[in-house]
Amino acid sequence: MNADASILSDAHARTVLATMVLLGAAAGAIGTPLVLRRHALLGDAVGHATLPGLAGASIASIALGGSGREPAVLLGGAALGAAAGAAAVWLVRRWARTSADAATAVSLGTLFGLGVVLLSALQQLDAGHRAGLDAYLLGSAAGLVRTDLWIAVAIAVATAVTFAVLARDIRAATFDPTFAQVAGRPVRLIGGAWALLTVVTVVAGMQAVGLVMVLALLVIPPAAARCWTDRFMGVVAIASAIGAGASAAGAAASALAPRLPTGAMVVLALGAAFAVSAVRAALRRSIGAHA
């Protein structure tokens, strides 16, 4: 009881909790078409591509006489890197005619490798600067500030409005893009909007859970939600709820025991939700098979 009261009375803990819940809910919904379209790893390519963006932005800042760790500069660099990652997957698929998973691996590996090279260049420039970037690798929810909360609000509202207006088009474009295209629906526009939402969510989520684990926010909630329903919007709604619930649980756990890292706790809570969902689906299938 005391501990609960302290979470909600501490303004910073409230900001972290609200930011995480909003990002978790939005990421679950945004991840649903990606997972159902078997393009789940796009989020991974985008997440890893933030590293060269972060390191490049830091180097550019130092070269221009800055400190190399201005949050706005780093976030801008991360967003550029993420956008380059999404564009690279698209270009590799289109030009080399490879499958989505191979294109993702090509883009992810190459851009993350570039990021590691830039990171070591940054260290030689000034050994102290790398510390500022480590927070983005593994996440640092404690570093979330009021601006991050407003960004999370904007992402959640944009996601909700997109689904409210385009639910039918999103479902058609995800289920049968050929039909949607022949019927004259804006399949390419939706694809572009999805790449944008994914990039923005990855960059925002990366600060909290780190660029290695941000994929979990996008992929685990829909994968778990699919075990509970056979309706598309049902998966979207349940994925959103699982994302929000696991984020709240993770943020609360690390507020109660401050040495536990928030991002990793959120990802563990998501993994637990997935395990429960998968076991329940397997049980239901085996009961159905015997009935």
Contact residues: other proteins, CB under 8 A: 36, 38, 165-166, 168-169, 171-172, 174-176, 178-179, 181-185, 226, 229-232, 234-235
Shorter beta-carbon distance to other proteins: residue 167 or 276: 167
Place of tokens 């270009």: 91
Shorter beta-carbon distance to other proteins: residue 16 or 225: 225
Scanning 126-231, the segments in alpha helix (DSSP H) are 130-138, 146-175, 177-182, 187-209, 214-225
* Cα–Cα distance, 134 to 140 (Å, whole number): 9
Say if residues 191 and 197 touch (Cβ distance below 8 Å).
no
Closest separation in Å from C-beta 21 to other proteins: 25
b/e per residue, 162-172, with b = 16+ CB within 10 A? bbeebeebbbb
Shorter beta-carbon distance to other proteins: residue 112 or 232: 232
C-alpha distances out from residue 62 to 49, 98, 129, 135, 136, Å: 21, 39, 10, 19, 18
Closest separation in Å from C-beta 171 to other proteins: 7
Closest separation in Å from C-beta 253 to other proteins: 31
Shorter beta-carbon distance to other proteins: residue 16 or 172: 172
* Cα–Cα distance, 105 to 126 (Å, whole number): 31
Closest separation in Å from C-beta 272 to other proteins: 23
Shorter beta-carbon distance to other proteins: residue 128 or 234: 234
176 three-state secondary structure: coil
Closest separation in Å from C-beta 230 to other proteins: 4
